[in-house]
Structures are given as structure tokens and as C-alpha cells.
Amino acid sequence: MALPLITIDTIISWNPCIEYSRGVLVERLGTGEFNALYVLNAPAPAEMQDRLWVIVRPESITEAGVELVDAWVLSKFDQTSATSVPSENCKNSWPQPTVFRRTSMLADLLRYETGSDDEFTAGLTAILEGI
């Protein structure tokens, strides 16, 4: 199964933060159709949490993809001490029903567990390539 294709219009329909206007999104992602792997690895500067907000949703990676990411996160929590991730982002509260909660928890894993954008991106890329 291939990753779904999305566009700037798709992202705009999800009501991104005000700083992500159509112009900013086009500057960072270009025009036309693209998939979640492109968003994850796009060369233009963007916070990882903002990239994750686009990626970790069924419209971008399918329901099955979200389940794979959830399983990956749970395995990461199994390898992480209870004190290394903020209390509001603990294994017992994963998965949360909203995209915002998922992305903030993934961003916390990036900061507190992997310590590196490259390592985090490689792990998530491997999941997305398997979808």
C-alpha cells in the first residue's frame, strides 16, 4: 500500500497554526501532491512537531499507518525510564485521540529519548516506507 498523497489545500483544510499560511506552506513544501515521507524529509526549515502534525493522521498515513506509529511509540516508551518523559506524556495516556496530543508526545520522545532528529527521522521513515 502506498502512502496517500496530500496537497497544500489538504493541510489548509486541517486548520494549521496561523504562522503556517498558504504562502509559508508552499515555500516549505512546494506545490502539487506529496506524501508524508516528503513532509518528514523536506529540506525547508520546520519544527519536527509541526511536521508530525501533518504526518501522524489517517489522511496522511492511513489508519493502519497510525496504528504502526502508535506501536512504535509504545515500544519506545517501553525502553524509556518513567522520569525521562514529561508526566503528561506517559505511556498510560498513549494513544490520545487527537492529532495534537500524538504529535506533542512524539516530539517529547524526540527530545527526551532519541536525542537526535536524525535517529528519530530514521525510525519514523522506516515505518512510513513500510506502509
Per-residue pLDDT reduced to its tens digit, 25-81: 999 999 999 999 999 988 877 777 788 889 888 899 998 888 888 777 777 666 655
Q: Is 129 helix (H, G, I), strand (E, B) or coil?
A: helix
Residue of 73 and 5 predicted with greater confidence: 5
Amino acid, res. 105: M
The candidate with the shortest Cα–Cα distance to 9, out of 29, 65, 19, is 29
Give dist(CA 98, CA 127) in Å, integer.
20
Look up the pTM and report it: 0.76
Strand partners for 34: 6
